[in-house]
Amino acid sequence: MRLLPAVAVLSLLLSACERAPAPAPSAAATPPVPVAGDPAQAVLDASQRFGQLRSFHAALHMQGPRTLDATMQFVAPDRYRLQTAEGVQTIIGDTFFLQRAGEVRQVPVPPGLLAQWRSPLPADATAADLQVEALGEARVDGNPVRRYRVRHASAAPDGMLYWIDAAGLPVRIERQGKTQGQAFKVTVDYTRFDDPTLRIEVP
């Protein structure tokens, strides 16, 4: 899971210069948990399906050397809105619109810095690249999901937990590991898939 580097870089950018609740479905309308098939293929399909979304909302909580809570919204093809304790910031393409003290300054960011938010696993990953263990059924926000432990040599060598909903999309990803010798835990919850009301304008 490649979320930590982007979070750290964006945090540094902010220092230097809501998760929206999903409607609670009724019990009768709750879709069944997807039937378990090949675990590696199920995780790969979910990652690829997620990469094709036109919009989504992510809520991130990081515990470790520092605690960080942030929300991020994405609107295709390349618009992101990040909210942390420092405020709301906008990234469009490779430009970070730094908003501070009533002013907006454009700061370049490394190309593709936030591309990882579009695909929890590398875009060229194959089922053979993954070591996946099916952990059975669970619930996220009351909705049925299947939970998996996933390892990938470059994206998640220490492993991560992956929750996939009945539509075959990842709704939660969690990773624990170490950075600079200190333990961390990152949890990301995804909602508002392909929500046409999400808009991100130039500040």
Question: What tens digit of pLDDT does each residue of 34-77 get?
Answer: 445 799 999 999 999 999 999 999 999 999 888 889 999 999 99
Q: In b/e form, how buried is each residue of 40-74, taking b as 16+ CB within 10 angstroms?
A: bebbbbbbeebeebebbbbbbebebeeebebbbbb
CA distance 137 to 130: 20
Give the number of other Cβ atoms within 10 Å of residue 200's Cβ.
Answer: 16
Weakest mean pLDDT among 15-24, 63-72, 74-83, 184-193: 15-24
Write down the pTM of the prediction: 0.80
Among 202, 191, 150, 171, residue whose Cα is nearest residue 23: 191
What pLDDT does 55 receive?
A: 96
Q: Is the pLDDT at 6 greater than 50, yes or no?
A: no
132 is written with which tokens? 């996946």
Q: What does the DSSP 8-state code read for residue 54? A: S
Q: Say which residue the tokens 């470059």 belong to.
A: 154
Q: Is the pLDDT at 100 greater than 70, yes or no?
A: yes
Give the number of other Cβ atoms within 10 Å of residue 29's Cβ.
Answer: 6
CA distance 95 to 32: 42
CA distance 203 to 188: 26
CA distance 153 to 162: 16
Q: How confident is the model at residue 110 (pLDDT cuts 50, 70, 90)?
A: confident
Using alpha carbons, list the distances in angstroms from residue 160 to 15, 75, 118, 153.
Answer: 28, 26, 17, 12
Cis peptide before 77 (omega within 30 of 0): yes
- Residue 72 contacts residue 203 (beta carbons within 8 Å): no
